[in-house]
């Protein structure tokens, strides 16, 4: 059975000890987080952050469809820009989004984010 090493940096020594490795693109992490957030009742859609996109050009951050993915000293930080449905409780919505994103990432990638930040940008009546 293949030993799995999931992460974005694997040393040459670790590569030699393994039969293979798995590398997950940061945009995949962003897609999983975004789709998990959209599953939560009360999320109308993901927002946009032009300033976050600009910041990623000069850094190791990835911004993809309303989700900012950041790696700092082997810590994964996810920031989601959310448009909420009118009438939902923001605190409950944020907790549900954070839990769903964590569970989805752990289930699919075996990576646990250090932080899942939610920025509610707008409210829409749907």
Contact 77, 55 (CB under 8 A): no
Q: What is the pLDDT of residues 52-68, one digit of tens each?
A: 555 555 555 666 678 99
DSSP β-ladder status, 62-64 and 75-85: unpaired
% residues pLDDT > 90 (the chain): 55
Residue 7: φ, ψ to 5°: 175, 180
Contact 18, 36 (CB under 8 A): no
Query: Residue 119's Cα: distance from chain center in Å?
Result: 13
Q: What is the pLDDT of residues 32-48, one digit of tens each?
A: 999 999 999 999 999 87
Domain 22-124: CATH architecture, name and number where available: 2-Layer Sandwich (3.30)
What residues contact 109, with CB distance under 8 A and at least 6 apart? 6, 24, 28, 29, 32
């Amino acid at each position: 059975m293949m030993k799995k090493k999931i992460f974005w940096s694997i040393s040459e020594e670790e590569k030699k000890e393994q039969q293979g490795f798995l590398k997950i693109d940061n945009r995949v992490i962003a897609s999983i987080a975004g789709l998990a957030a959209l599953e939560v009742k009360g999320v109308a859609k993901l927002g946009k952050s032009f300033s976050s996109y600009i910041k990623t050009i000069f850094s190791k951050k990835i911004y993809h469809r309303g989700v900012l993915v950041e790696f700092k000293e082997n810590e994964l930080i996810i920031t989601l820009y959310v448009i909420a449905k009118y009438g939902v409780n923001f605190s409950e919505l944020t907790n549900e989004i954070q839990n769903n994103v964590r569970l989805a990432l752990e289930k699919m990638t075996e990576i646990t984010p250090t932080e899942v930040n939610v920025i509610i940008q707008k409210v829409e009546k749907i």
